[in-house]
Amino acid sequence: MIEAIPHVIPNLLEEDWRENALVRLPAIFPNQGARDLAALCTLTHRFAIDYLDQAPAVLAYVGWGAVPRTRTDRAYIAQRFGSAASRGLKLRDFLAEFSAPLPIRKLRSVAICPSYFPAIVDLRRLELSDLAQAIPDTPVAQAKWLRVMRDWHSYEQRYGGSDSAVKLRDLYRWAAMTFGREAQEGFGAHHTVRDIVDFVFSNPPGSLNPRWTMGAALAAVDRWHGELGKRRDEEVFLAANGIGFEDPIDYGHLPDRRAVASFEFVALRSGLDLFTEGAAMRHCVSTYSRKVVAGQSFIYSIRHGERRVATLEVAPQQPNNRHAFKTVQLVGPCNADPKKEIKLAALLFVQRENLRLADEWRAERDARRKAPKDMKWWTGGAGDG
């Protein structure tokens, strides 16, 4: 690893150093979004391309996790990068100019894209020794790891200063180290993040031991899912409302079954239905009985043949309005993101049901208008005699 940029590099002292640098750029940054920002930095000084080649992840720090959008932002970044490059700093000092930790030089450019920039900047939270250990060795593993760390970062940001976000922040080091090992061993842990986040959110602080391996954490998640499915309080709640665990819950005008393309949407109308779906799909839909009984949510199992492929939750667009619905969430097994064709089928299902229900509502309204009026109010309720 070169630690300093020499002041004399013969092939870059030619008059066309900018052209030579731009020729090198596509091989260093295959991602177009990263390459555009890298080009801005490259043209600031003849040695800029060498710094980028040695530590491509510094791109995330020059804009502090964001891609510059305005001319002013781009000019500011170019000025900062060019100023640092012109001084011929050692790599450690160059990175320090942008508050970037030295171990990020291990990240290869093929694993870097703008959507990972906030997560890369977030790596400053780790001790240098921890960061060096957490980053996987291969570019493919690095890309998987950065995707997971981006997801973890996004969950923290989504929940702000809530207790749930605090729990995640406390487990940041565990996540970076553990998911790094998983990625290095060839596992794609992207879908695992949401399972673990759900577990952390739904349990007291300390439920996930920072000393656990990923296998131990997933075993705890599995046990938790099993407990969710077996919890007696769902049955107690339904019984308190005069509903047996296997009794159907009223879904109003929504269908029990509906075929859309090659998929079938099956209404989950009982506590048992919800329990079975949650156990089969490994998510917590078994706890949705209260929302379904209250008419706040209506749950459908999406199936392809005999196989469950996703779970759909819809809710009234307005309270107590069962003639227009919206999608609340659509998840696959283990809360994974469903395939595009499933998303499209779910969209068509909701749209078609809304159109059908709107037609039914208009027909009922017109029938009421045409029905004979009760004239007792006119006669004062007098009898016929």
Over residues 113-168, the pLDDT tens digits come to 999 999 999 999 999 999 999 999 999 999 999 999 999 988 888 876 677 778 88
pLDDT band at 179 (very low <50, low <70, confident <90, very high): very high
| Helices 214-230/190-202 angle, 10° precision | 60
Mean local confidence (pLDDT), 47-64: 94
Is the pLDDT score of 363 beyond 50?
yes
CA 92 to chain centre: 34
The count of other CB atoms within 10 Å of the CB of residue 331 is 17
Decide: 266 and 257 in contact? Cβ < 8 Å: yes
Residue of 10 and 297 predicted with greater confidence:
297
Residue 369 tokens read as 């208008």
Enter the pTM of the model: 0.59
Q: What is the pLDDT of residue 378?
A: 56
Mean local confidence (pLDDT), 46-70: 92
Local structure of 67: helix, strand or coil: coil
Residue 2 tokens read as 């070169």
d(C-alpha 31, C-alpha 364), whole Å? 56
* 257-260 and 298-304 strand pairing: unpaired
Decide: 101 and 122 in contact? Cβ < 8 Å: no
| Helices 190-202/172-184 angle, 10° precision | 150
d(C-alpha 385, C-alpha 382), whole Å? 8
Output the average pLDDT for the chain. 86
Q: What is the pLDDT of residue 14?
A: 52
Strands (E), 127-196: none
Q: What is the pLDDT of residue 377?
A: 53
d(C-alpha 102, C-alpha 211), whole Å? 26
Local structure of 83: helix, strand or coil: helix
pLDDT band at 382 (very low <50, low <70, confident <90, very high): low
d(C-alpha 174, C-alpha 163), whole Å? 18
DSSP β-bridge partners for residue 326: 315
Calculate the alpha carbon distances from 135 to 106, 140, 179, 262, 341 in Å.
Answer: 7, 11, 9, 42, 35
Residue of 4 and 255 predicted with greater confidence:
255
pLDDT band at 231 (very low <50, low <70, confident <90, very high): low
Which of these ranges, 57-71, 203-217, 219-233, 341-355, has the smallest mean pLDDT?
219-233
Q: What is the pLDDT of residue 311?
A: 97
At residue 287, φ and ψ (nearest 5 deg) are -95, 10
Name the DSSP letter for residue 242: T
At residue 149, φ and ψ (nearest 5 deg) are -65, -30
Its sign, for the CA torsion 36, 40, 46, 48, is negative
Name the DSSP letter for residue 263: E
d(C-alpha 358, C-alpha 375), whole Å? 30
The count of other CB atoms within 10 Å of the CB of residue 353 is 20
Name the DSSP letter for residue 13: S
d(C-alpha 35, C-alpha 362), whole Å? 55
Mean local confidence (pLDDT), 183-209: 79
Strands (E), 179-306: 257-260, 263-267, 298-304
Decide: 331 and 338 in contact? Cβ < 8 Å: yes
d(C-alpha 94, C-alpha 305), whole Å? 58
DSSP β-bridge partners for residue 259: 264
- Buried b vs exposed e over 70-106: b needs ≥16 C-beta within 10 Å? eeeeeeebbebbbebbeeebebeebbebbebbebbbb
Strands (E), 293-379: 298-304, 307-316, 325-331
Measuring CA to CA, which residue among 312, 264, 265 is closest to residue 288?
A: 312
Matching residue, tokens 């283990």: 334
